[in-house]
A and B are shown apart, each in its own frame.
Chain A
């Protein structure tokens, strides 16, 4: 069963913050976050393993709430280059394949 992402789309001005959520009804082992620009391959951003850790990559960070089976991606002080579709991919216990959400389309405007 695919994870549910919210919101489906968001428009930001440069410098604004955004949060993208990813939730699953199944027990998760890990959550992977990817950004995909139009016509390009998904680019890996970060992976969070169960344990509730939080990770950061420049101005993009993420958290994983194991109890809620939910992960959130935080984009702070957004830049034009952040525009694209963000996908979460979840790994269930005992599985290696990623099940992707439907994506969140992020558009950063000047």
Chain B
């Protein structure tokens, strides 16, 4: 069964450094999402992406964050200058259409030192 894949599985970065998280959504899916989950808390929406542009973003997704689809398969989340509070599990998800199931990748655990 096709799945969403994310790399790396764990990223350790010094505060202030840039980090790029990578995702390969399911191939015939058109909607892509990034969510994050701070340890022990609920999953929080960051941004959704459709037709090569951001369709929706949350208050968390400030100027430090950006997303890109550099080619036909990858979907990336960049954090320009990481802060301690950016430490979390970051999940990528994709869905075939709007209002259809969103399938999550296994996540990238981001640790900011």
Contacts and interface: CB of A to CB of B under 8 A. Distances in A.
Interface of A: 2, 29-30, 32, 34, 36, 40-44, 47, 49, 87, 89, 91, 95-103
A64 to B, nearest CB: 13
Contact of A40 (B50, B100, B106): B106
B17 to A, nearest CB: 25
B43 A43 contact: no
Nearest to A91: B99
Interface in B35-78: 35, 41-45, 48, 50, 55-56, 58
Contacts of A44: 101-104
Report the interface size class on chain B. Answer: 20 to 34
Contacts of A36: 43
Given A44-B104, A49-B99, 8 more contacts: A40-B106, A41-B107, A47-B101, A87-B43, A96-B31, A96-B48, A97-B58, A98-B102
Given A41-B91, A42-B91, A95-B56, A100 B42 contact: yes
Contacts of A30: 99
B84 interface: no
Nearest to B3: A41
A41 B105 contact: yes
B99 to A, nearest CB: 5
A83 to B, nearest CB: 17
Contacts of A29: 99
